Structure 1
Amino acid sequence: MATHWEDLLWRPIHKAKAKMDYHSQHPMDLYFNAGEIIEVLGIENEDWWNGSIPNTQKSGTFKFGSFPKIFVEIVESSSEPKNGFHQQKMFNDSKPPSLPPRKKPLVTSNNNSSYDNNNKSDIFNKLPELLNKLPELSKSKPPSSNNSSRENGEPDVRPSATSINLDYSYNDESYEEFDLQTDPVSRCEPLFAEDFEGFFDASVVDFTIIDEYARETPISETATIKGLSHYLTSVWDHPLYKLRAIFAWITDNISYDCEAFFSGSFRHGANGAKEVLKSRKAVCAGYSELFYELSKAAGLNAWKINGNAKGIGYEAGSDISGYGHAWNGVLYEGEYLLIDSTWGAGNVCNQQFIKSFNPFYFMCSPTKMIYRHLPNDPKHQYLQPTISSEEFKYLLFVSELSFKNGVNFTRWPGCVAETSKDKISLEFEHTETEEIGHYSATLQWKEQNTLAAVQRLTNPGPNGGILYRILCNIPSNGDGMLSIYYFPRGGKQGSNLISQKIINHGTGSNYKQFVQIYNVFPLSIINPLESTLKYNTKVKFEVNVFGEYPTPKLLVFDQSFKKKQFLEIVDRNDERGYVTFVGDVLLNYKGPWNLGYESKDNYYSFIATYEVK
């Protein structure tokens, strides 16, 4: 079964339930009735979300749009447990809440080639003040030796060339374990021009002023390539700001032409810059062409790059030929950097373009871009030595979020994992500790999804970060795709972190389904992980809770509350911020049993539900 790139990156963040009717005449809104389940696909701002109604996807009439989040409440799954969840108070139907102020919509329809002919607000009056607030630019020093190519001392997501054997690794012989395989990118150094003085990191620069200026461009300034380029770039002295203004305008105004892409009616490179500027639609070649022409008109050193990319429709471990793509290169103060306006503009979900600005693809380092982009001409990799097409095929299939989270792979086999045991175990380290959310994993197998278990370990990783273990049980012989997702705290938008191809030579006889865990707070279930438990047996429950103050009270109880047992705290480590709960529970009733916690007023909320048979 093919796994599409847009499906990997646009899984629901969570599911929400409508608390009351929301019927809107706004063409970009999602309307619904009270009680309907909504899959939340994106966060537009603090007041508005976007999402879809699942049953409309099944019927073939995709229903997608924006809606005010105040009209819904988050639920952990479409099959909500009958007891135990706190329910937010429903609104009185006679007093609907006031709608929050609307901001610029993030969804752009590909079925409408027209655009707003009204001029945007003139920002020139603000320029004197804005120019005085431009950020100071700085660069990190060049590497001191040929063994280091990391920019600004950031964590290296590339695996080390040496296999790591640590005393805290999971040692269950029933699971297939993997030592780290050498990553070809670990031997590569970025190329520089003679005037190179240090690495540039776009993520530390505040481009708010430049982005605002570009996005407020009056429509009257967009009639020609030359005129638009002059408007976007003439007010800035520094070439970096000129490039950013062009990138911001393109990603804000050009929609991906899904109709042309999925119908196959386009020719690669056919959309010239003038045509794109007129229609405001393009595939990747049109984005690249427009960026090049606008940059050339401003006298900037930029060029077009053609090649292949692990994008729409690509599956980890597959042949890269046939996945044509186009992007741009620039030379900035002696450093070769890469720009992908297509991927910077948004994503594709259910053959619809979802506008979502992604600054990662502005001035991106070649050592990061190479994981998803392979130029036709190896010199456009700007790496020494270069990566071959065969090496590129087996590079880890990681998203830009891996770099942001400082992911370090400690036990990982590359982009394909093979086993004969029906079970695999993987490990990685999360080194960016300023904001910790939670990880989840799903195995896509023969057109069905099964849960994988993600455990946060109490031991630190080799770089002092947070260590995670992924356990995957495989239902049958064959191959499928394991997808790992990261969700920041606070209900923020989550996305795919890693895609891993799984090949099982076993029969599936060792398969057992994992229990579903509701992420009410940071925790890790060590035991039991299987969703079905045996009747009239004593089971040891072991759970680690991280960073929760005050410490919650965990308990196990049957569906009728006839049996209730609190777990005991057996370990508390303030330095590492975890508490370990343990308890031996006799399962002497058949039916559902729940692992939960005691909240206010002796109310019990679910963490996981097991079936005792």
Structure 2
Amino acid sequence: MRQNICYAIIIIFFVVGIAPGLFAQNDFTKIDRHADAAPQSLKNSIPALVNYLTRPAKNDLEKVRSIFRWITQNINYDVEAFFDRRLIVDDPERVIRSGRAVCGGYAELFNRMCREAGIKSKLIAGWSKGYGERLTGRPNHAWNAVKINYRWYLLDATWGAGHINSEKFTRQFNGHYFLTDPNQLIYDHLPEDESWQLLKKPITRKQFDNLVLMRPAFFKNGLKLKSHLNSKISSNGNLLVELEAPENTFLSVKLVSGENQLDDHHSFVQRKNSVYFVNANFPGNGNYIMRLFTKIGRDTEQYNWACDYQVTVTNNTSKNKLFVKQYGKFFDLNAFVHQPVNFVLSEGSKQNFKIELKNAYEMVAVINEEFFPLEKSGDIFEGSILIPKGLFHMAVKTDTTNYYHWLLEYEGK
């Protein structure tokens, strides 16, 4: 593969989520184990290696899976070549012997191994979107199409193998890029030849540039865009993005300016029914990234990168307002703040609080170790509080015990 299209791979500074491809219902455990157990001596002969990999396969699907699995588990991404430190090698024989490649090498090797297995495949050149990826006029990536049972499918062995983190390659098998649904792959892969989008209505390069950058976890966790369908957002400093999510899916957000992450008080995430409301206040004019993360279930500690928005702020009117601090119980109990959402409140003023929360017995403002209860009406807790100087908290009791959970933190100034 030519050097000008061989430098794209996902670069991350956060966890990349794993998601299945079109054949998620298939159990590839046995064929994956077989591929993982391939003797290293077989690297000396591509025909011998392919013969080993496909021997137990029951059909072409399993043959393709075994080849894909072996490549992703045995070929390291050539980080030095990625950063233009030495010659890029695409020749399959040299790739398999060295155990290193960039995208063109992965794609050429997959093609060669498929030919040995009697399976039709094609190298696809085009553009990809990764962390910090800048799209130019020339293609920057290569992946493959493969024909199984008279139908073409798409896959990317490079992105299936792992990612670069701090200029080091980390192997992490990513099944999302094995026979990926074309309606999902189009969010980060655009073929130079539009027919290889495999879509009923192909999109243009301009439309691709404007698509929200979605990562595998976005699809795996069932997220859907609701308010902002394009990746580029113009803002006056205040922004509200809405997404839909299944009941057991959780969201968090990070705001990034250059290489700096903004304080958590600049964002506020809450949910009502199936809709997540992601609020952001930006401290000044400039370019920002709004990066969303997702996880399944309360007990899962690790959030996975879901999607990115590019936000350009001009004529900022947000006055650098900060949002109230949320504690973990806020998300566990699916609370919703109607007012106030600002962290800093005017000392000595009376402020009306209105917070929605199901299955709670009592909610109180905790000020200097004194409790000031809000009135409960159905799922709504409401009341007027005299704002003290300094930090104070909203706490909730979820049962008949006397144990209260921190919910929110405010500051009176």
Deviation at 1:394?
0.9
Q: Secondary structure of the equivalent of 2:48? A: helix
User: Structure 2 vs 1, CA of residues 406 and 586 (structure 1 numbering), >3 Å: closer, same or farther?
Assistant: same
User: Structure 2 vs 1, CA of residues 43 and 597 (structure 1 numbering), >3 Å: closer, same or farther?
Assistant: farther
Q: Secondary structure of the equivalent of 2:69? A: helix
Aligned to 1:486: 294
Q: Secondary structure of the equivalent of 2:226? A: strand
Does residue 1:449 correspond to 2:262, yes or no?
Answer: yes
| Partner Cα separation in structure 1 for residue 405 and residue 54 of structure 2 | 56
Deviation at 1:599?
7.8
Aligned to 2:328: 519
Q: Secondary structure of the equivalent of 2:288? A: strand
- For the 8 Å contact 2:129–2:189, the answer to whether it is kept is yes
Does residue 1:271 correspond to 2:90, yes or no?
Answer: yes
- Listed as ranges, the matches of 1:183-198 within 5 Å are none
Deviations 1:526-569 (A, max 9, x none): 232222111122223333346xxx646443213x41x2224444
| Partner Cα separation in structure 2 for residue 245 and residue 272 of structure 1 | 21
State the one-letter code of the partner of 1:374. L
- For the 8 Å contact 1:457–1:468, the answer to whether it is kept is yes
| Partner Cα separation in structure 2 for residue 224 and residue 382 of structure 1 | 33
- Give the structure with the higher percent helix: 2
Deviation at 1:302?
1.4
Deviation at 1:342?
1.2
Deviation at 1:439?
0.7
Does residue 1:343 correspond to 2:167, yes or no?
Answer: no
| Partner Cα separation in structure 2 for residue 243 and residue 264 of structure 1 | 33
Deviation at 1:259?
2.8
Deviation at 1:499?
0.7
Percent of paired sites with the same residue: 29
User: What is the TM-score of this pair, normalised by structure 1?
Assistant: 0.60
| Partner Cα separation in structure 1 for residue 11 and residue 380 of structure 2 | 39
Q: CA RMSD in A?
A: 2.7
State the one-letter code of the partner of 2:160. G
State the one-letter code of the partner of 1:496. W
Task: Return the match for 2:237 from 422, 425, 431.
Answer: 422
Q: Secondary structure of the equivalent of 2:328? A: coil
Deviation at 1:338?
0.5
- For the 8 Å contact 1:345–1:355, the answer to whether it is kept is yes
Aligned length: 395
Unaligned runs of 5+ in 1: 12-40, 45-199, 459-465, 572-578
Task: Return the match for 1:394 from 189, 205, 210.
Answer: 210
Aligned to 1:412: 228
User: Structure 2 vs 1, CA of residues 220 and 581 (structure 1 numbering), >3 Å: closer, same or farther?
Assistant: farther
Deviation at 1:232?
0.6
Does residue 1:6 correspond to 2:11, yes or no?
Answer: yes
| Partner Cα separation in structure 1 for residue 361 and residue 79 of structure 2 | 48
Aligned to 1:583: 383
Task: Return the match for 1:505 from 300, 311, 314.
Answer: 314
- For the 8 Å contact 2:35–2:69, the answer to whether it is kept is yes
Deviation at 1:456?
0.5
Does residue 1:570 correspond to 2:386, yes or no?
Answer: no
| Partner Cα separation in structure 1 for residue 115 and residue 16 of structure 2 | 35
State the one-letter code of the partner of 1:6. I
Aligned to 2:74: 253
Deviations 1:249-286 (A, max 9, x none): 2222222222321244343xx33222222222221112
Aligned to 1:283: 102
- For the 8 Å contact 2:129–2:135, the answer to whether it is kept is no
Task: Return the match for 1:534 from 346, 350, 355.
Answer: 346
- Listed as ranges, the matches of 1:46-65 within 5 Å are none
Aligned to 1:207: 28
User: What is the TM-score of this pair, normalised by structure 2?
Assistant: 0.87
User: Structure 2 vs 1, CA of residues 542 and 203 (structure 1 numbering), >3 Å: closer, same or farther?
Assistant: farther
| Partner Cα separation in structure 1 for residue 84 and residue 210 of structure 2 | 29
User: Structure 2 vs 1, CA of residues 351 and 606 (structure 1 numbering), >3 Å: closer, same or farther?
Assistant: farther
- For the 8 Å contact 2:176–2:216, the answer to whether it is kept is yes
Q: Secondary structure of the equivalent of 1:203? A: coil
- For the 8 Å contact 1:310–1:323, the answer to whether it is kept is no
Deviations 1:491-530 (A, max 9, x none): 2532221211112221345331112323231423423222
- For the 8 Å contact 1:477–1:508, the answer to whether it is kept is no
Does residue 1:595 correspond to 2:399, yes or no?
Answer: no
User: Structure 2 vs 1, CA of residues 6 and 519 (structure 1 numbering), >3 Å: closer, same or farther?
Assistant: farther
